[in-house]
Structure 1
């Protein structure tokens, strides 16, 4: 199904003067920078030993663009170029470790990081009027298209977004991370670069998510095989922290009507008076972890058509991942993810 229509009416917005609570939004960005962003532009994930990863750098680029913070955007991009662009293509190494840099297989890319970096650069040039070379975006899109798309073993004319250029794939089996499907980013980049392959990957990605929802599963990782879905190569079969992003990206893309979002509405409903939500389930769908961290609760409110407030101190002072999801949910809310925007 061609979803180009979703792009209409979903233009990006800067934070200033757009929505009530702009001061709270600005305060949240200031706190987030102080907590996670070094002066040199490196984003620190303290829960993973202080490493930096391509996903974190890309998320920060997008948040800086959305906040209208040109100086922070420039520092983040400068650090990223200096430390993560070590491959022969335009994609990033996925991990950088303090005192070691990019070591071992850390030079492998993570497709979601490259997708979000390209999208942030596009938004900066197109929506903020900042000086970003169009060739930078085009180069990332070209390498994503060539290296990170793979024929679906069930239907070779359909393209699956692989989690990385070096990720497991054969003509009968390919590793798939459903949370890497960000339809709006894929479609806007496809439009900007004239790359129909990314548009097709967005369309088929939504189809794969619908198929998984019909099976009442939304895993972090899964293999797509010639015979259907199967346990993922090199990963446990579960639905946990990666999968939390799936509904965020769909809602952000104006696809609140998607079956995966309706599934998330039920699965992220607060459990009892304590207000915690299930954030991880095992292969059988049995809950194995709950959390009341504000970032995860913000995702639950987003998919349930509730109010998503700007992150406060408790959110920002918590773990990196929950805090950045809270920030992204706030941007999604301001960029057309309300219930009224359902297509």
Structure 2
């Protein structure tokens, strides 16, 4: 599976979404994690080298969000999930694989996530919300939040390794917020957390979609398969879907908009149930679907609910 994914999406250390003609920090983080899990040190080092040269261009330890293939144009804003997965992969490489020399970088990234990408919850100022980026909109009364950026296991392992309790609190509170969103029927791609509660985000549609799809994956991977957001996400995936499909986007009123039978999207429902996953096809040409399928296999292997 790993070799097929590499052949399709990895070029000289660059994880490439050929459909969009772009590489993202999120993809580089996913690639590092999958390479570490596969025991492919050569690919891991190549991905990290490309990332250092082309995306580690900020004055802090966070990555630029994207680089276009055609003209090399960079969006220097970071996306916190990419930094979180990169730091976690670097920590795992040093700690679990014995590929030394990566721990210091992992902890430096973790420290900047804690310093630059956390904000107080307006409803409970002592609690930390994980921001979608260092420059993301925040104010004492209203904070932009992406529920799919909460990867509790990564936050906790980096918090433990760095000795920074803020990351541990962000993981705990993130799970609390996900449960609240599930109960409120607002398991959206984006949401504003305000002093008065959860509001539609100013910049985005208040909908279930391609970001929110990852919420059950990260919770199952973190050993939280019984978390209420997993059941809520499963309902969003399956309610009203055609046979052999899942709902990947819904309108503001909850009506299904887009369905898919791609293996990676189907695997999200299987992962939420801790069920057997499809073995392929892998070379579908859909970067996001194929990457989700790879991550689902890894999540079930490491989350404890599947062999």
Could you tell me how far 1:102 is from its partner in structure 2? 3.9
> 8 Å contact 2:219–2:230 — kept in the other structure?
yes
Measured in 2, the distance between the counterparts of 1:120 and 1:138 equals 11
CA offset digits 1:232-274 (Å, max 9, x no partner): 1211111101000000000000001100011123333386773
Match of 2:302 in 1: 335
- Conserved in 2, the CA contact under 8 Å of 1:240 and 1:281? yes
Contact 2:117 2:131 in 1 (8 A): yes
Distance 1:165 1:89 in 2: 10
Kindly state the Cα deviation for residue 231 of structure 1 after the two structures are TM-superposed.
1.2
Distance 1:72 1:157, change over 3 A: same
Structure 1 contact 93–102 (Cα < 8 Å) conserved: no
Gaps of 5+ in 1: 1-27
Is the contact between residue 223 and residue 230 of structure 1 (CA under 8 Å) also seen in structure 2?
yes
Q: What is residue 125 of structure 2 aligned with on the other side?
A: 156
Q: Give distance in 2, aligned partners of 1:270 and 1:223.
A: 25
User: What pairs with 1:34-53 in structure 2 (closer than 5 Å)?
Assistant: 34-38=7-11, 40-48=12-20, 50-53=21-24
C-alpha displacement of 1:317: 2.1
Per the alignment, do residues 272 and 167 of structure 1 end up closer, same or farther by CA in structure 2, a change over 3 Å counting? closer
Report Cα offsets for 1:95-136 as digits up to 9, x if no partner. Answer: 001243244xx1000000000000000000011000233220
- Conservation of the 8 A alpha-carbon contact between 1:84 and 1:102: no
Q: CA RMSD in A?
A: 1.5
Is 1:220 matched up with 2:189? yes
In structure 2, the partner of 1:318 is 285
Change (3 A) 1:82 1:229: same
1:80 equivalenced with 2:44 (yes/no): no
**Residues 248-259 of structure 1 mapped to structure 2, 5 A cutoff:** 248-259=217-228
Query: Following the alignment from structure 1 to structure 2, what is the Cα–Cα distance between the partners of residues 267 and 30?
Result: 32
**Structure 1 residue aligned with 2:160:** 191
Residue in structure 2 matched with residue 71 of structure 1 by the alignment: 42
* Residue among 30, 40, 58 paired with 2:29: 58
Secondary structure of 2:15's aligned partner? coil
Written as runs of structure 1 = structure 2, the 5 A alignment for 1:18-29 is 28-29=1-2
Task: Tell me how far apart the structure 2 counterparts of residues 212 and 339 of structure 1 sit (CA, whole Å).
Answer: 27
Answer yes or no: is the 8 Å Cα contact 2:282–2:290 preserved in 1.
yes
In the superposition, relative to structure 1, how do residues 238 and 127 fare at CA in structure 2: closer, same or farther (>3 Å)?
Answer: same
Distance 1:164 1:273 in 2: 36
Q: How far 1:190 moved relative to its partner?
A: 0.4
Residue number among 72, 81, 104 corresponding to 1:135 in the alignment: 104
Partner of 1:246: 215
Q: In the aligned structure 2, how far is the partner of 1:93 from the partner of 1:337?
A: 33
Normalised to the residue count of structure 1, the TM-score between the two structures is 0.86
Q: Does 1:30 align with 2:3?
A: yes
TM-score by length of 2: 0.96
Structure 2 unmatched runs, 5+: none
Q: How many residues align?
A: 307
The aligned counterpart of 1:288 is 257
Q: What per-residue deviation string (whole Å, max 9, x for no partner) do you get for residues 69-117 of structure 1?
A: 00000100000000000000000000001243244xx100000000000
Indicate the structure whose relative CO is greater, using CA pairs within 8 Å and at least 6 residues apart: 1
Q: Is the 8 A contact 1:280 1:288 kept in 2?
A: yes
Match of 1:91 in 2: 62
Match of 1:205 in 2: 174
